[in-house]
Structure 1
Amino acid sequence: MFPSLPPLLADAGNSPLFQAAVIIVATFILEDAATILTAMEVQSGPVAMPLALGALYVGIVVGDLGLYGLGRLAALWPPARRWVNLPSGHDGQRWFARNVFRIVFISRFIPGARLPLYTACGFFHASIARFAAAAVMATLIWTTLLFAVSLRVGQFLIDHLGEWKWLGMAGFALTILLVGRIVASVRSPSR
């Protein structure tokens, strides 16, 4: 079974390099949960805030670039190209090139949208420079916001729940994930 983030960070002790590596790997598994749990560890004391935020930013952006890269690799595989059917007259490559910044930036805030949209950006050869710039900007905003909220919630949980703080943080992380899923599933009414 994969060990959870807080014990790994606690075991890392005084090794900032190991702490950063654990945080980066955790972002590949579940970004928002890694952000929330890392903020809790900062609040508890074993992890320094600059290290935590830096590792979160690096891990998330590298993961985003990895999704883009998977899309580029899929575009090189002939069966994958046959699976993509665009309406006649629609040029996916040109559309993604024109809208890459907006796609990347907006999908950062819509749960479940990153995987398909980031790989599509790679598949349709959107500018890697524009993709990376949008990924960095959106990550800086979203991760910093979620981290700041998690610090506040984490302090409240430490102050009021003591040893039960991890149960409270798990509930907070689950709430964030469920709210994200609900927001992603809401559709505008049909006309």
Structure 2
Amino acid sequence: MLTAALNGMAEPWFMVLALILTTFLVEDVAIAAGVSLSTQASLSWGLSFAAVAFGIALGDLLLYGVGVLARRVKWLERRYIRSESLAGLTDKLHNHLLSAVFLARVIPGLRLLTYTACGFTKASLMPFTLMVGLAVLLWTACLYWLSIAAGDALASFLGIPKGLAVTLPILAIALAVPVLRRLKSLLRMEVSDE
């Protein structure tokens, strides 16, 4: 039974589903896994890229949906939206939707705020969806390329398997963001203590 389960996990449909679901938890891990699976020829490049990009875009659209739902469910509004903060920003957000979507895609911590605000303020869904799709395609392609290029160099330099080496650059980025936030927080605490 265990062998059958393990063989089932090697099926392409299972790997695609796992990549899509992983994007909901940690996008960077999904990207690293997608590149690794493709590098090892366990999954085609096109299929792994499509699964990761689809999962990321779906997650972004779900954030928009949370914003829409927050208009009706007060505890969601209290949790994710600050209505008083959006009062003067709605027009700016709608008029600069493209830049807002792209900035939220690349700056850690902005996506939840921006995409839920787009849903809450009723930003037009079709343009939002198209912009999210474009931003996700570009972002994912850049990270795939970075992972492959840096992973090739690491595999040669360190003499480690390429399937492992291609995951290291993306995982390093994923770990660097919380470490940098923590350092920034510690520096602020030191300055305020003085």
**Whole-angstrom distance in 1 between the partners of 2:7 and 2:173:** 24
Which of 101, 116, 125 matches 1:104? 101
Structure 1 residues 175, 75: closer, same or farther in 2, change over 3 A?
Answer: same
Which of 59, 63, 67 matches 2:63? 67
SS at match of 1:50: helix
Match in the other structure for 1:29 = 25
Note the 1:70-89 alignment, pairs <5 A.
70-78=66-74, 84-86=82-84
TM-score (norm 1): 0.77
Shift of residue 19 of structure 1? 1.8
**Whole-angstrom distance in 2 between the partners of 1:113 and 1:17:** 32
Aligned amino acid, residue 84 of structure 2? L
**Whole-angstrom distance in 1 between the partners of 2:6 and 2:154:** 19
**Whole-angstrom distance in 2 between the partners of 1:109 and 1:94:** 22
Shift of residue 149 of structure 1? 1.4
Q: Is the 8 A contact 2:105 2:139 kept in 1?
A: yes
**Whole-angstrom distance in 1 between the partners of 2:155 and 2:36:** 9
Match in the other structure for 1:93 = 90
Structure 1 residues 169, 39: closer, same or farther in 2, change over 3 A?
Answer: closer
Aligned amino acid, residue 66 of structure 1? L
2:154 equivalent to 1:147: no
2:67 equivalent to 1:43: no
Q: Is the 8 A contact 1:10 1:46 kept in 2?
A: no
Q: Which runs of 5+ in 1 are unaligned?
A: 1-7, 187-191
Match in the other structure for 2:121 = 124
Structure 1 residues 162, 69: closer, same or farther in 2, change over 3 A?
Answer: same
Q: Is the 8 A contact 1:23 1:34 kept in 2?
A: yes
RMSD of aligned Cα (Å): 3.1
Q: Is the 8 A contact 2:64 2:119 kept in 1?
A: yes
SS at match of 2:96: helix
**Whole-angstrom distance in 2 between the partners of 1:93 and 1:112:** 19
**Whole-angstrom distance in 2 between the partners of 1:87 and 1:115:** 15
**Whole-angstrom distance in 2 between the partners of 1:45 and 1:22:** 16
Q: Identity rate of aligned residues, in percent?
A: 29
Shift of residue 151 of structure 1? 1.8
Q: Which runs of 5+ in 2 are unaligned?
A: 185-194
**Whole-angstrom distance in 2 between the partners of 1:172 and 1:133:** 29
Aligned amino acid, residue 72 of structure 1? V
Match in the other structure for 1:161 = 160
Q: Is the 8 A contact 2:101 2:114 kept in 1?
A: yes
Shift of residue 80 of structure 1? 5.3
Q: Is the 8 A contact 1:108 1:139 kept in 2?
A: yes
Shift of residue 86 of structure 1? 2.7
**Whole-angstrom distance in 1 between the partners of 2:131 and 2:177:** 21
